[in-house]
Structure 1
Amino acid sequence: MESNPRGIPKSPFVDDVEAYLKTDTVQATLNKFTEAVSKYKYMENSKLQQRLSLEGKIPDIEKTLSMVGFLIEKRGSDEPVKTLFEVNDTLFAHATLPPTETVNLWLGANVMLEYTLDEARELLASKLEIAKNNLKDTVEDLEFLRDQITTMEVNTARVYNWDIKQRRLATATAVAAMPAPAAK
Structure 2
Amino acid sequence: MAEFLKPKNTNPRGIPEAPFIEKVDQIIKDGDSDFEPLMSAFQERLQQYKYMELSKQQQLADLNVKIPDIEKNLDIIEYLKLKKDSVDNDDGDDNNIIETNYELNDTLYTRASINVNDTNSVYLWLGAQVMLEYPLDEAVELLKSRLEKNQQQLTNVKEDLQFLKENITTMEVNTARLYNWDVERRKKAKASSAPPTVKAS
Tell me the TM-score normalized by structure 2: 0.84
Task: Say which of 95, 98, 107 aligns to 2:112.
Answer: 95
Root-mean-square deviation (CA, aligned residues, Å) is 1.8
Q: Does the Cα contact within 8 Å between 1:75 and 1:101 map onto a contact in 2?
A: no
CA shift in 2, pair 1:131/1:182, >3 Å: closer
Residues 156-171 of structure 1: pairs in structure 2 closer than 5 A: 156-171=175-190
SS at match of 1:10: coil
Residues of 2 paired with 1:37 and 1:68: CA distance?
Answer: 46
Paired residue total: 182
Identity among equivalent positions (%) equals 47
Q: Which runs of 5+ in 1 are unaligned?
A: none
For residues 26-47 of structure 1, the C-alpha deviation after alignment (integer angstroms, 9 at most, x for no partner) is: 1111111111111111111111
Residues 21-32 of structure 1: pairs in structure 2 closer than 5 A: 21-22=28-29, 25-32=34-41
**Post-superposition offset of 1:14:** 0.7
Q: Which runs of 5+ in 2 are unaligned?
A: 1-6, 90-95
AA of the residue aligned to 2:81: I
Residues of 2 paired with 1:125 and 1:102: CA distance?
Answer: 16
Name the residue aligned to 1:128: 147
Tell me the TM-score normalized by structure 1: 0.91
Name the residue aligned to 2:99: 82
For residues 92-148 of structure 1, the C-alpha deviation after alignment (integer angstroms, 9 at most, x for no partner) is: 111111221211111111111111111111111111111111111111111111111
Name the residue aligned to 2:55: 46
CA shift in 2, pair 1:98/1:8, >3 Å: same
Name the residue aligned to 2:92: none
Residues of 2 paired with 1:147 and 1:22: CA distance?
Answer: 28
CA shift in 2, pair 1:168/1:73, >3 Å: same
Residues of 1 paired with 2:191 and 2:196: CA distance?
Answer: 14
SS at match of 2:17: coil
